[in-house]
Amino acid sequence: MQFASKPSRLRVKFVSLFGKLFGLFFHPFFQRFFLGTNWISIPGSTTNTQFVAPLVPENPSVFYRLIYQ
């Protein structure tokens, strides 16, 4: 997995495993202490191995996770 950041974006690159891709999900952390189960699938993440996320100062805590599918 590779990460690269610029002032306004974060690029994440990951590889497939045995020909299968991972699904990328994100969770905007609006609650103060509880992450919860509201993970949102990123469209196209099961067919691509790169994702570019905007860095938004109004959303200081956003979490990402990869799931083997």
Nearest of 39, 37, 26, 29 to residue 60 by alpha carbon? 29
Q: How confident is the model at residue 66 (pLDDT cuts 50, 70, 90)?
A: confident
Asked whether residue 50 carries a pLDDT value surpassing 80, the answer given is yes
pTM greater than 0.75 (yes/no): no
CA distances for 66 relative to 8, 18, 23, angstroms: 22, 15, 6
For residue 53, the one-letter residue type is A
Query: pLDDT tens digit string along 22-39?
Result: 777 777 765 555 666 778
Q: Average pLDDT, stretch 26-54?
A: 75
Strand partners, 6: 9
Show Cβ contacts of residue 34 under 8 Å, excluding neighbours closer than 6 positions. Answer: none
